[in-house]
Structure 1
Amino acid sequence: MKAIVYERNGDPSVLQVVDRPVPEPGPGEVLVRLAVAGVNPTDWKGRRNWPVPDGGQTPGQDGAGVVEAVGTGLDRQLIGERVWVWEASWQRRWGTAAEYTVVPARQAVPLGDASFDLGACLGIPFLTAHRCLTAGETMPRRLHAGSLTGRVVLVQGGAGAVGNAAIQLARWADATVVATVSSPEKALLAAAAGADHVVNYREQDVAEEVRRILPDGVDAVVEVSAARNAATDVRILRTGAVVSVYADDGGDEVTLPIRALMLPNARWQFVLVYTTPWPAKEQAIADVTAAVAQGHVRVGEGAGLPLHHYPLDATAAAHRVVEDSVVGKVLINTSAA
């Protein structure tokens, strides 16, 4: 099979196309013939910073394809199942930037009739968004139609992949959603995803605009840049609200006013999907799968998430545009599964 491998940390030039034997699934594992792989920021951050295992690392956490074989202890009826894959390369050699990957069976989730493109967009963005929407003390532990009725969610960075996922999941659950963006073009994407209100933070005071639209403030903030936005977030929190921080865009330290956050009994929750407790992650997988099955998850420009496709041998270019913060979702066509 063809796979992308890097044997040392570095820029995208360390990514090489190699021929490798198709891996065999071990006990409790499935072999997936991949059709599409998703590229996430942690793919390039891992390529630059994480230890590289002996024999090299194939990047890619997310993907979609068809189960080709199963290891011992699994039902052979799984063979032929269309699935979406999550966390393929977290502490494992086999990622999704390849024609095949091997993962524990629970990391290959039935996709049904949804497209492989959609399946490859789920994983990290949607599991992260789910955690951000359910981590607060006053927020539900699971999402479903109506579970966020009466709640208000602010998505900081509504045109990003996690921002898009948070908007779609929150609207499915019937929340009122406000999204912030940095341009009119991104405003159109956030609105296409389903945001009820969109605020351009380069032209408007976000806190003033949110309070004008929703005087009581918000129940949850999905936060991409706490260092930049903390002062704004503090001004708009309802009693019991949560700020869920899933990235360090704009700085890796944040300063918080104690008294202003004590008054509403506010919570700051830091989110990394890889180390999210398993019960929360298991619920996220179930809820995201349900949203997909009900037709409430979409991808493409009409859903606020433009798709950018690259062939497997152009994975380095795909990594480069993600590292340069391209707007939309970058996908790698891995095979014709």
Structure 2
Amino acid sequence: MRAVVYTESGDASVLHLVDREPAEPGPGEVRVRIVRAGVNPTDWKFRAGGMGRLAFPEIVPGQDGSGVVDAVGPGVTELAVDDRVWTMLAQHTRPGGTAQEQVVLPVAHLTRLPDGASFDLGASLGVPAVTAHRALTTSEDGPDRLAPGALAGRTVLVAGGAGAVGNAAVQLARWAGATVIATVSSEEKAALATAAGAHHVVDRRSDGLLEAVRGLAPDGVDIVVEVAPAQNLRHDVALVRPRGTIAIYANNGGDEVTLGVRETFATNARFQWILLYTVGEEALRAAAEDVTAAVADGAYGVGEEHGLPLHHYPLERAADAHAAVEAGAVGKVLLDVAEL
């Protein structure tokens, strides 16, 4: 089988296409024939050495993907050969991710892909959708699961509504019944956030950002899904309602945040830091179930019409795909691993 690997940290040129024998699934494991693999910022950050030294001598990148089960290990009853699935944290604690034709994973990190859902959509879930789910389900006043009506009466502010996680947060919050406000940095991104389902879109570059959001949510927003805390956190504190949650999942725009203690007191706000690798299996499974339910309901999609343009690269151009994500491609970058 073909696989993309790297054996040292560096830029995208360290990625190489090689031939490998497919592994056999062990107890509690499943082997998946990958059709599409998603590329996320964490993939290039791991490859570049930004997350510490390499955990294995040779690594196949890729947390997200979709495909078809082609073998199951002893004791596996949850999935069967020919089931269509999407992956979650495929490379976490393992050397082999989704940028290969066949990957062996624990059954707990695989979820059935609903009938009618494309492999493009399946490979676009994983990190973005599970991160967004976590951001929307950790508030003091709930909910801890998403479903239609779960966020009814709530207002969600999504910073960077045209990004992959922002897009997922808009779609999931809208499905759960929230009023969604998205901030963006261009007219093009405003159109994407609107296509995703945002009720209101605000230019984050505007001097009137605070006034615009306050006009839409006079009592404050219930949840902020934040991608750039160094730039936005002071605004978030001013906009969140008492006992609201500011969920922070990235450090775009800077690594340091400074806040006055007194200015945060009145809000009783919760600062929720999000890193999928340590949220625990229970939270991952809840997210997988709820995200899949949204997909099955037709409430979650990909492509320009859903606010998430797709950019396809063949497996042999994985380096170009990584470079595109690193350069800030708007939308979702996918590797076309196989066709069915």
TM-score over 0.5 (shorter chain): yes
2:321 corresponds to = 318
What is the rounded CA distance, in whole Å, between the counterparts of 2:55 and 2:223 in structure 1?
Answer: 39
Contact 1:152 1:220 in 2 (8 A): yes
What is the rounded CA distance, in whole Å, between the counterparts of 2:134 and 2:97 in structure 1?
Answer: 23
Contact 2:114 2:292 in 1 (8 A): no
Q: Which runs of 5+ in 2 are unaligned?
A: none
2:39 corresponds to = 39
| Residue pairs, 1:67-146, within 5 angstroms | 67-75=69-77, 78-113=80-115, 114-146=117-149
Query: How many matched pairs?
Result: 337
1:151 corresponds to = 154
What is the rounded CA distance, in whole Å, between the counterparts of 2:227 and 2:174 in structure 1?
Answer: 19
The runs of 4+ residues in structure 1 deviating greater than 4 Å are none
What is the rounded CA distance, in whole Å, between the counterparts of 1:213 and 1:93 in structure 2?
Answer: 47
Secondary structure class of the residue paired with 1:222? strand
Q: CA deviation at 1:278?
A: 2.3
What is the rounded CA distance, in whole Å, between the counterparts of 2:78 and 2:190 in structure 1?
Answer: 47
| Residue pairs, 1:1-337, within 5 angstroms | 1-49=1-49, 50-75=52-77, 78-113=80-115, 114-337=117-340
Letter paired with 1:177: V
Secondary structure class of the residue paired with 1:17? strand
Letter paired with 2:225: V
What is the rounded CA distance, in whole Å, between the counterparts of 1:170 and 1:221 in structure 2?
Answer: 11
Cα deviations by residue, 1:33-89 (Å, 9 ceiling, x for unpaired): 000000000000000114335541000000000000011111396111000011111
Q: Which runs of 5+ in 1 are unaligned?
A: none
Secondary structure class of the residue paired with 2:132? helix
Contact 1:70 1:76 in 2 (8 A): no
What is the rounded CA distance, in whole Å, between the counterparts of 1:154 and 1:335 in structure 2?
Answer: 38
Contact 1:6 1:14 in 2 (8 A): yes
TM-score with structure 2 length normalisation? 0.97
Alpha-carbon spacing, 1:268–1:278, altered in 2? closer, same or farther (3 Å): same
> Larger deviation: 264-273 or 157-166?
264-273
What is the rounded CA distance, in whole Å, between the counterparts of 1:51 and 1:23 in structure 2?
Answer: 25
Letter paired with 1:247: A
What is the rounded CA distance, in whole Å, between the counterparts of 1:54 and 1:197 in structure 2?
Answer: 45
Contact 2:72 2:79 in 1 (8 A): no
Secondary structure class of the residue paired with 1:137? coil
Q: CA deviation at 1:139?
A: 2.6
Secondary structure class of the residue paired with 1:220? strand
Alpha-carbon spacing, 1:203–1:326, altered in 2? closer, same or farther (3 Å): same
Alpha-carbon spacing, 1:176–1:259, altered in 2? closer, same or farther (3 Å): same
Contact 2:78 2:107 in 1 (8 A): no
Secondary structure class of the residue paired with 1:78? coil
Letter paired with 1:306: P
What is the rounded CA distance, in whole Å, between the counterparts of 1:91 and 1:54 in structure 2?
Answer: 9
What is the rounded CA distance, in whole Å, between the counterparts of 2:55 and 2:237 in structure 1?
Answer: 42
Query: CA-atom RMSD, angstroms?
Result: 1.2
Cα deviations by residue, 1:290-325 (Å, 9 ceiling, x for unpaired): 111111111000100000000000000000010001
Secondary structure class of the residue paired with 2:90? coil
Q: CA deviation at 1:260?
A: 2.2
What is the rounded CA distance, in whole Å, between the counterparts of 2:77 and 2:241 in structure 1?
Answer: 49
> Larger deviation: 256-265 or 71-80?
71-80
TM-score with structure 1 length normalisation? 0.98
Letter paired with 2:324: V
Alpha-carbon spacing, 1:41–1:77, altered in 2? closer, same or farther (3 Å): closer
What is the rounded CA distance, in whole Å, between the counterparts of 1:178 and 1:204 in structure 2?
Answer: 17
What is the rounded CA distance, in whole Å, between the counterparts of 1:305 and 1:273 in structure 2?
Answer: 21
